[in-house]
């Protein structure tokens, strides 16, 4: 699935940071991308119940599968966490960032939440 590709990309970033010296610009880009992953994780968790699934999801053989949105949100969070920790951000700071994003989510207008979910959906599915 394309969502898995996005998560693998974050894992690749993690491996790349461990094997090479990065410029400040590259580190900043990784932080922005991982921050966006955190936003998507918060958006998904805050918008859907733990039981919500991707409708009509199928595996590579075309067989129906159940993919829970909260499981995807957790994978996205973990990918962001690893990428941020690989560029020197402590786990407690990532947790604080995530808590801040949860608080910000509460104060967004419905159209703003919808826009964020649309961008996250496109990003995690390999769209635009």
Inform me whether the pLDDT recorded for 19 exceeds 70: no
Inform me whether the pLDDT recorded for 125 exceeds 70: yes
Inform me whether the pLDDT recorded for 23 exceeds 90: no
58 three-state secondary structure: strand
pLDDT tens-digit profile of 46-104?
A: 999 999 998 888 889 999 999 899 999 999 999 999 999 999 999 999 999 999 999 99
57 three-state secondary structure: coil
pTM of the model: 0.81
Residues 65, 13: Cα–Cα separation, whole Å:
28
């Amino acid at each position: 699935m394309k969502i898995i590709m996005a998560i693998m990309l974050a894992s690749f970033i993690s491996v790349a940071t461990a094997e090479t010296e990065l410029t400040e610009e590259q580190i900043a880009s990784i932080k922005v991308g991982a921050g966006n992953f955190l936003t998507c994780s918060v958006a998904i968790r805050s918008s859907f119940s733990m039981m919500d699934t991707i409708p009509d999801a199928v595996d590579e053989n075309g067989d129906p599968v159940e993919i829970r949105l909260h499981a995807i949100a957790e994978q996205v969070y973990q990918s962001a966490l690893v990428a941020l920790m690989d560029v020197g951000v402590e786990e407690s700071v990532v947790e604080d960032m995530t808590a801040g994003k949860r608080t910000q989510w509460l104060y967004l207008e419905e159209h703003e939440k919808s826009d964020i979910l649309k961008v996250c959906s496109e990003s995690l599915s390999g769209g635009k």
